[in-house]
Amino acid sequence: MKIQVLGPLGAEVNGGSIVPTAGKPRQILSLLALHPGRVMPVSVLMEEIWGTEPPQSALTTLQTYILQLRRRLGTAMGPDAPEVAKDVLATRHGGYLLQIPAESVDVHEYERMVAEGRSAFEAGDDDSSASLFRKALGLWRGSVLVDVRVGPILEIEVMRLEESRLGTLERRIDADLRLGRHSELIAELIELTARYPQHEGLHSQAMVALYRSGRQASALDIYRKLRIRLIEELGVEPSPQVQRLHQAMLAVDPQLDVAAGPRRSSTFDLYAA
Amino acid sequence: MTTVYPSHGGRAAFRRKKVVQVSDERVRRSSRTIDVAAPAGVVYGLIADAERWPLYLPLNVYVERLDFDGVRERLRMWVIAEGQVTSWMSDRVQDPARRRVSFRQDLIVESTRSPAGTWTVRELGPDRCRLTMDYEFTVVDARPEDVRWLERATAVNARSNLRSLRFLAERWPRLDELILSFEESVRVKGPPELCYGFLYDVGDWPEQVPHVRRVGLAEPQAGVQRAVMDLAAADGTTQTVDSVRVCFPHAGRIVHKETAVRKLVAAHCGEWSVVPDETGVTVVSQHHVALCEEDIEPVLGAGATLEDARARVRAEIGRQSMETLRLARKHAESAVRVL
C-alpha cells in the first residue's frame, strides 16, 4: 500500500486507487495515515470530523466509516494466505489504527530524507545535503491534503507539514549557497521572497545570492523593501541577524564572500551574535 | 452438476465476427450477439447490477464496487478464466437511456493494451431484445500464447455470460421468488484472528464441523482456495459442493462462490465476515442463492412449489452456517490465551 498526503490525498493498493470519494472517510483515512501503527483515539477522530459538537449518532456513524474503510482497504489488499486475519484497519481499546509500515506513507520518506539531509549538512557534506533536501521536496505534489476537508486536528498536521516544507526549502538553499550556486538561486529566491514577503530567512538568502553575484545594489534593495514592509505592516525592525548582514554588505565584509565557512549555520544566522 | 445454468444449445444464437487490423499494433475485436425473449429493460438491469454478477454469472466469483456515482463505477472483479481465478479492475459507464454499459479493464495480460468493450441491449419488441457484447484489445509485442489465452478466455466467458443472462432474463417474472438472500451471525467474546482462522482452515472442518464429511482442498494461489466438500443434509444424504473461496485476511472476509451446487440450487455465493468492534466480534455468514426450478418436483416430490424449495434451501444452508459459526465461536472463546 502507498499513501500520499504531500499533495492531493492518494492511496494505492496493487496499482488501484482506493481513495474514498466521500469527504468524511477521506478525513479519517488522512488522519490515520499520518500516524501509521499508532492508535488514534475515538475522541480525536470525532473532534476532527464534527468539532466540539458531535451529533448524537456520531459514534455509530464513525464506526460505519471505519468499517467501510476497513473493507475497502482490506479487500483491495487482495487475497492472502495467512491463516489469521491481520487487520489493516484494527480496533484497539478506544481507538483505531492503520497497521501499515510507516514507509508506506510519503511523509515518512520525506522526513527520513530531511533528517539525512540535516546530518549531511552538519557533517559538512553540502553536496549530499542539497541533493537529499531536493529529493525530499520532490515528493511534494502540491499543498498537503489539498483535496481533503480538514477539521481542527488535521489542520494542525497540515500547518506542521507546510512549515516543515518551507524550512526544508530554506535549508536546501543554504546548502546550495555553500556550494557557490548563488547565481542559479536568484530567480527562485525572487519568487520565494514575493510569496513570503515577511520571511527573513529567505530574504537573507536572496541578499547573499545577489551580493555574491556582484549585485550589491539589488541585495541592499531587498533589505530596504523588507525593512519598510516590516515597519509598515508589523511596526518592527528586521531582526538583528538581518540588520548585521546588511551592515556587513555596506562595509563590504570579506567574510561575505566565503561561500562555505567552517561555521555550519544557516544563511540567516551568518551574522548571529 | 458442473454447469450452474443449463445451456440452451442447439439454437444458432451466436454470430461472431473478428476483424484484425494490420499495423505495428494489432487491434483484436470480437462481437457476440444473443436474442432474448424478455423486455430490454430487464436484460439491461441484469448487466447494470454488477455486484450481483457472482449470483448471475457462473464464471464470476466476486465483484467489489469501489466507486459509483450513478453513472461511472469502478469495480474489482474476480473471475474464473481458463480454470484459474483471475482478478482485474473494470471502469464502467452506465447509460440506461441507450441501454449501454461500456467498460475498460486494466491490464489482464502483459503487452496487451486497453482491453475494453460494450454491452448493448436493443429492443426488438415488448418482450424481445438483442444483447450484444463487443470487446477489443490491442496487442503490442505480446507472446502469442498470451494472446491466445486472452482470446480463448474472453470467448468462453462471453459465451457463458450471454447464455446465463438470457437464462435469467427469460425467467424475469419469477426472478424475485427464485432468488433469496439471508444471513446468520453470532456474537463472539474472543479474538477476531481465531474466528477468521477457523473459517479459513476449511481443510480441518471434517474433524470439527459435523455436517462436513470430507473436504478436498487446493490453494493454487495464496488466499484463493478451491474446496470440494461432502455435506450431510438433514435427511442423511450426502451432497457434494465445489467452491472457490477468496480470502481477504486484511479485511477479515472470505467470499465464496459455489461452482458445483447442491440440489434445488442453480447458483450460490456468499461471504464470511469477521467484524470486530469495541466490545467483541460479530461473525456473519451471508448467502445469495438462485433456485433451480427444474429440480423442485424431482427432489421435493410432485406438487412441491417454489415456496417449498425456498423454505428447504433457506433452512438447510442456514442450519449449516449456524453450526459452523457456533463452532468458530467455541474455537475463539475456548482458546487458551498465551501472554
* Domain CATH number, residue A192: 1.25.40.10
B277-305: pLDDT as tens digits? 888 899 999 999 999 999 999 999 999 99
Give the torsion sign (CA, B77, B79, B82, B86): positive
| Alpha carbon distance B339, B304 (integer Å) | 57
pLDDT at B252: 93
Rounded to two decimals, the pTM is: 0.83
Question: CA–CA distance from A166 to each of A3, A133, A172, A223 (Å)?
Answer: 22, 11, 10, 20
Give the DSSP per-residue string, B197-265: HHHH-GGGHHHH-TTEEEEEEEEEETTEEEEEEEEE-TTS-EEEEEEEEEEETTTTEEEEEEEE--TTE
Please state the rounded mean pLDDT for residues B20-39: 79
Assign B64 a pLDDT band (cuts: 50, 70, 90): very high
pLDDT at A262: 67
Please state the rounded mean pLDDT for residues A50-79: 91
Domain closes at, from A36, A71, A102: A102
Assign B312 a pLDDT band (cuts: 50, 70, 90): very high
Residues 6+ apart with CB under 8 A from A195: none
Chain mean position to CA A3: 16
Please state the rounded mean pLDDT for residues A78-89: 74
8 Å CB contact between A3 and A34? no
| Residue A69 in domain | yes
CA distance A67 to chain B (A): 8
| Residue A171 in domain | no
Report which residue type is found at A20: P
Length of chain A: 273
Check whether B12 has a pLDDT greater than 60: no
What is the helix (H) or strand (E) element at residue A25, kind and residue range? helix A23-33
pLDDT at B87: 87
User: What does the mean pLDDT of chain A come to?
Assistant: 92
Beta pairing, strands A16-17 & A95-98: unpaired
In A, minimum Cα distance to B200 occurs at A83
Check whether B337 has a pLDDT greater than 90: no
pLDDT at B115: 84
* Domain CATH number, residue A58: 1.10.10.10
Please tell me the number of Cα atoms within 13 Å of B22 on its side-chain side.
Answer: 0
Residues 6+ apart with CB under 8 A from B36: B43, B128, B129, B130, B131, B165, B166, B169, B170
pLDDT at B235: 80
| Residue A126 in domain | no
Instruction: Determine what percent of chain B is predicted with pLDDT higher than 90.
Output: 70
Phi-psi region of A15 (alpha: psi -120 to 50; beta: other; left: phi over 0): left
Lowest mean pLDDT among B120-134, B146-160, B221-235, B316-330: B146-160
| Residue A225 in domain | yes
Query: What angle do the packed helices A126-138 and A152-178 form, to 10 degrees?
Result: 150
User: What does the mean pLDDT of chain B come to?
Assistant: 88
Lowest mean pLDDT among A93-102, B140-149, B211-220: B140-149
| Residue A145 in domain | no
8 Å CB contact between A229 and A193? no
8 Å CB contact between A219 and A208? yes
pLDDT at A83: 58
Give the torsion sign (CA, B133, B180, B251, B205): negative
Please state the rounded mean pLDDT for residues A78-92: 76
**Range(s) of the domain holding residue A208:** 180-272
Check whether B14 has a pLDDT greater than 60: no
Check whether B240 has a pLDDT greater than 70: yes
Instruction: Determine what percent of chain A is predicted with pLDDT higher than 70.
Output: 96
| Alpha carbon distance A99, A138 (integer Å) | 26
pLDDT at B214: 95
| Residue A159 in domain | no
Q: Among A180-184, B7-11, B152-156, which range has the highest average pLDDT? A: A180-184
Domain closes at, from A85, A102, A119: A102
In B, minimum Cα distance to A90 occurs at B276
| Alpha carbon distance B104, A272 (integer Å) | 62
A145-158: pLDDT as tens digits? 999 999 999 999 99
Instruction: Determine what percent of chain B is predicted with pLDDT higher than 70.
Output: 90
pLDDT at B1: 37
Lowest mean pLDDT among B15-19, B137-141, B235-239: B15-19
First to last CA, chain B: 49
Interface check for A84 against chain B (CB to CB < 8 A): the answer is yes
| Residue A142 in domain | no
Helices (H), chain B: 40-48, 53-56, 144-169, 175-178, 192-200, 205-208, 296-300, 306-334
| Residue A136 in domain | no
| Alpha carbon distance B324, B201 (integer Å) | 12
Domain closes at, from A102, A128, A144: A102
Check whether B50 has a pLDDT greater than 70: yes
Length of chain B: 339
Cell triple for A19:
481513495
pLDDT at A85: 64
A 2-31 residues with CB below 8 A of B?
15-16, 18, 21
Check whether A14 has a pLDDT greater than 80: no
pLDDT at A95: 92
B99-141: pLDDT as tens digits? 999 999 886 666 667 789 999 999 999 999 999 999 988 877 7
Residue numbers in A near B244 (CB within 8 A): none
Cell triple for B296:
423442485
Please state the rounded mean pLDDT for residues A5-19: 89
Of B106, B196, B224, the CB nearest to A84: B196
Instruction: Count how many domains chain A has.
Output: 2
| Chosen from A46, A91, A100, A104 to mutate, greatest number of chain B CBs within 10 A | A91
Classified as helix, coil or strand, A234 is helix
Assign A261 a pLDDT band (cuts: 50, 70, 90): low
Assign B23 a pLDDT band (cuts: 50, 70, 90): very low
Please state the rounded mean pLDDT for residues B64-88: 90
Check whether B276 has a pLDDT greater than 80: yes
Interface check for A73 against chain B (CB to CB < 8 A): the answer is yes
Q: Which residues does B contribute to its contact with A (CB < 8 Å)?
A: 64, 66-67, 69, 74, 76, 87, 89, 106, 192-197, 200-201, 219, 221-224, 246-253, 274-278
Interface check for A72 against chain B (CB to CB < 8 A): the answer is yes
Give the DSSP per-residue string, A30-49: HHHHTSTTS-EEHHHHHHHH
Cell triple for A10:
492518494
8 Å CB contact between B328 and B212? no
pLDDT at A109: 96
8 Å CB contact between B46 and B170? no
At B102, give phi and psi (nearest 5°): -105, 150
Interface check for A273 against chain B (CB to CB < 8 A): the answer is no
Check whether A233 has a pLDDT greater than 90: yes
